Chains A and B, each alone.
Chain A
């Protein structure tokens, strides 16, 4: 690698040619604060928080976009730099709704942290015209409060570049510039897919999930309700972040203890339902292959992806697996088989899903998600990882010091195949494990399908299973999904089975996960760090194939009969419908 010699704050460093000052400082172990900058997707140099002094240059320069050059001398902590950053913050505050006490992002707000670091003493230093905006709370899963927006455009970049959707963007110009939807429509009325990637990109409290924890507290306090909780595969490797633990730490045992202390009647695992999904989905796939059904079959676990398909690629609806998602399958089983088994009226069972995902809130309210009938929802409330963390905090539970405990049975029994659902490629691998076993009568011993793992944008593989040749593709993030779908549409690519996850990296990087500041996004790969925790979990399990899950076997024996049976279709499958592109 070609290097250049520079000095930062007087000390010499040799850094790669083409680095920005921000990257060079990082090599030298010096942190330069940023606000608008998100690597690869929002390199616009707009907010001026990262300014540094370059000796000999007329003005301060933006470290996030300014490349280093041989002999460059950089000052990152000079009085001039500090003064400029402080002024910038004061100007941002002049139009910021400073309701920090009641803000959901208090403590994790990047603006708040910078104000503290740069010693902003008067939050009303600049007073002038100020536009007040109405809060847009029309979407099921989130709200936007432009009064707290600093126009960094990180949400816009997440929506248009990561996801290739672009339902939000800057409208008007100058002082009137604001982030919104086309023709000032409400977010609830446009083709937003509810993925929540804008929320985890936002540095302030301008965008946040709708908090549904009150409903959960209410149910927990109601003695007539049997309140059960399911935790999605990825939650066990992300919840710890909300309690200052290293990224990717597996906190399954503490999470179960915390949920039990919150007062749930039983603590169950969506991994169980993930195993169930695989049994149904593998059955569906083999049937489609053998009977000439619509191929490629595409997974339907990710509600953000499903919504995207309905809005933007309705021609692929026949390709979507008819399986409900694991969250919904869990609820469906809880209110049918489990209700019977426990002698409970499904009306009295309250199912809470802890999800990495804001689209799961939307999913609970989809049509045809009522296995018990009579309008009884399969899942009553879906809360995000962040909401669960807040519940744990509010209940005064010292998470880090909790003992480990285990999920309840039977809906808490799972295999390693269920765990990896939380990472991109996991559903494909889990399905392949089961399909391989079934199609070869157990002769194919392959457990690890390495080709479909990892954070690459699009992964492809061809497997020979029995006498079948299966061409599979795995992708995550909807901008990547668009590429895959276009290549299938044009006939350039032929696949039999495709896994698509709405969020880049899959659920571990979902829009409901703990928010990490931009510096973490910019310098660590959250997707890989969190996924590693899940693959380790899988590797450590005795059972790693979904159909070997004893609770699943019991469920079929007692209730469904065979995978893909009429009853299984009634309870575990659903349908989709085209939605407007605008």
Chain B
């Protein structure tokens, strides 16, 4: 199993640190504190890298593995930050039969990341999504608010190039 530590360097502001500490202090010792603690932490940092999960484990006095186990069980939590450009590939039925699966796989390869991850430079993150209501344009992907439709794998390089600078 691949090591799931995020490759993107982790930065924390004193303000974020203080917010998290306060939330953990309030939750410590209460039953079922971990879920709200992780939700709060994700709200503050946008994602839950090892540095944040270690703070949660220490703050609640529970094992790091327990924190990680919960964070990987629920799809609402993400271990990786979102990139400057968030790529979402629709894997809904219509897009999927039109070949969005290959687009998704090709993007993984081109960006060198897995679904749910972010490139090391923080530029691109890749996610799969369900139907975005543009089935007429299938297969579809979005990059932030831009929508690209009727795609084939060969189109991807040109699209990515637009965001490279």
Residues of A bordering B, CB below 8 Å: 133-134, 160, 165-173, 178, 180-185, 190, 581-582
The 17 listed contacts between A and B (C-beta, < 8 Å) are A133-B1, A160-B63, A160-B66, A165-B63, A166-B62, A166-B63, A166-B66, A169-B63, A169-B69, A172-B73, A180-B1, A182-B68, A183-B5, A190-B65, A581-B58, A582-B54, A582-B57
What is the CA–CA distance of A226 and B65 in the complex, to the nearest angstrom?
A: 45
B62: chain A residues at CB < 8 Å are 166
Residue among B5, B63, B73 having the largest count of chain A Cβ atoms under 10 Å: B63
With A160-B66, A182-B50 already in contact, 4 other A-B pairs whose C-beta atoms are closer than 8 Å:
A167-B65, A169-B69, A182-B67, A183-B79
A interface footprint on B34-59 (CB within 8 Å = 1, 0 otherwise): 00000000000000001001100110
A180: chain B residues at CB < 8 Å are 1
Q: How many A-B residue pairs have CB under 8 A?
A: 54
**Which residues in chain B, 1-27, are within 8 Å of chain A measured between CB atoms?**
1-5
When the two chains form their complex, are residues B3 and A171 in contact, meaning their CB atoms are under 8 A apart?
Answer: no
A182: chain B residues at CB < 8 Å are 50, 53, 63-65, 67-68
When the two chains form their complex, are residues A181 and B65 in contact, meaning their CB atoms are under 8 A apart?
Answer: yes
When the two chains form their complex, are residues A184 and B2 in contact, meaning their CB atoms are under 8 A apart?
Answer: yes
B79: chain A residues at CB < 8 Å are 183
B144 in contact (CB, < 8 A): no
In the complex, which residue of chain A has the Cβ closest to the Cβ of B68?
A182
B72 in contact (CB, < 8 A): yes
When the two chains form their complex, are residues A171 and B50 in contact, meaning their CB atoms are under 8 A apart?
Answer: no
Contact A170:B1 (CB < 8 A) given known A182-B50, A183-B50, A582-B54: no
What is the CA–CA distance of A387 and B12 in the complex, to the nearest angstrom?
A: 49
Within the complex, the shortest CB–CB distance from A86 to chain B, in Å, comes to 30
When the two chains form their complex, are residues B63 and A170 in contact, meaning their CB atoms are under 8 A apart?
Answer: no
What is the CA–CA distance of A165 and B57 in the complex, to the nearest angstrom?
A: 12
Contact A170:B69 (CB < 8 A) given known A160-B63, A182-B50, A582-B64: yes
In the complex, which residue of chain A has the Cβ closest to the Cβ of B1?
A184
What is the CA–CA distance of A172 and B54 in the complex, to the nearest angstrom?
A: 18
Number of interface residues of B (CB under 8 A): 21
When the two chains form their complex, are residues A183 and B68 in contact, meaning their CB atoms are under 8 A apart?
Answer: yes
What is the CA–CA distance of A168 and B62 in the complex, to the nearest angstrom?
A: 12
Within the complex, the shortest CB–CB distance from B30 to chain A, in Å, comes to 19
Within the complex, the shortest CB–CB distance from B59 to chain A, in Å, comes to 13
Within the complex, the shortest CB–CB distance from A169 to chain B, in Å, comes to 4
Within the complex, the shortest CB–CB distance from B75 to chain A, in Å, comes to 8
Within the complex, the shortest CB–CB distance from A180 to chain B, in Å, comes to 6
What is the CA–CA distance of A182 and B64 in the complex, to the nearest angstrom?
A: 6
In the complex, which residue of chain A has the Cβ closest to the Cβ of B5?
A183
When the two chains form their complex, are residues A169 and B2 in contact, meaning their CB atoms are under 8 A apart?
Answer: no
A181: chain B residues at CB < 8 Å are 65
Within the complex, the shortest CB–CB distance from A9 to chain B, in Å, comes to 40
What is the CA–CA distance of A376 and B119 in the complex, to the nearest angstrom?
A: 48
In the complex, which residue of chain A has the Cβ closest to the Cβ of B74?
A173
What is the CA–CA distance of A169 and B57 in the complex, to the nearest angstrom?
A: 14
What is the CA–CA distance of A168 and B65 in the complex, to the nearest angstrom?
A: 6
What is the CA–CA distance of A182 and B68 in the complex, to the nearest angstrom?
A: 5
B4: chain A residues at CB < 8 Å are 183-184
When the two chains form their complex, are residues B3 and A185 in contact, meaning their CB atoms are under 8 A apart?
Answer: yes
In the complex, which residue of chain A has the Cβ closest to the Cβ of B49?
A183
In the complex, which residue of chain B has the Cβ closest to the Cβ of A171?
B72
Within the complex, the shortest CB–CB distance from A150 to chain B, in Å, comes to 18
When the two chains form their complex, are residues B1 and A183 in contact, meaning their CB atoms are under 8 A apart?
Answer: no
**Which residues in chain B, 69-110, are within 8 Å of chain A measured between CB atoms?**
69, 72-73, 79
Contact A169:B65 (CB < 8 A) given known A182-B53, A582-B54: yes
A167: chain B residues at CB < 8 Å are 63, 65
Residue among A181, A183, A185, A581 having the largest count of chain B Cβ atoms under 10 Å: A183
Contact A184:B66 (CB < 8 A) given known A171-B72, A582-B54: no
A173: chain B residues at CB < 8 Å are 72-73
Residue among B58, B69, B79 having the largest count of chain A Cβ atoms under 10 Å: B69
What is the CA–CA distance of A201 and B105 in the complex, to the nearest angstrom?
A: 41
What is the CA–CA distance of A182 and B79 in the complex, to the nearest angstrom?
A: 12
What is the CA–CA distance of A349 and B101 in the complex, to the nearest angstrom?
A: 64
In the complex, which residue of chain B has the Cβ closest to the Cβ of A165?
B63
Within the complex, the shortest CB–CB distance from A146 to chain B, in Å, comes to 8
Within the complex, the shortest CB–CB distance from A308 to chain B, in Å, comes to 13
What is the CA–CA distance of A182 and B69 in the complex, to the nearest angstrom?
A: 7
A184: chain B residues at CB < 8 Å are 1-4
A183: chain B residues at CB < 8 Å are 3-5, 50, 53, 68, 79
What is the CA–CA distance of A160 and B68 in the complex, to the nearest angstrom?
A: 14
What is the CA–CA distance of A294 and B4 in the complex, to the nearest angstrom?
A: 42
B50: chain A residues at CB < 8 Å are 182-183
In the complex, which residue of chain B has the Cβ closest to the Cβ of A180?
B1
Within the complex, the shortest CB–CB distance from B111 to chain A, in Å, comes to 21
Within the complex, the shortest CB–CB distance from A206 to chain B, in Å, comes to 15
What is the CA–CA distance of A581 and B65 in the complex, to the nearest angstrom?
A: 12
What is the CA–CA distance of A134 and B1 in the complex, to the nearest angstrom?
A: 7
A134: chain B residues at CB < 8 Å are 1
B2: chain A residues at CB < 8 Å are 184
B3: chain A residues at CB < 8 Å are 183-185
B65: chain A residues at CB < 8 Å are 166-169, 181-182, 190
Within the complex, the shortest CB–CB distance from A132 to chain B, in Å, comes to 11
What is the CA–CA distance of A134 and B2 in the complex, to the nearest angstrom?
A: 10
Within the complex, the shortest CB–CB distance from A47 to chain B, in Å, comes to 19
B67: chain A residues at CB < 8 Å are 182
Within the complex, the shortest CB–CB distance from B5 to chain A, in Å, comes to 5
A581: chain B residues at CB < 8 Å are 58
What is the CA–CA distance of A562 and B53 in the complex, to the nearest angstrom?
A: 52
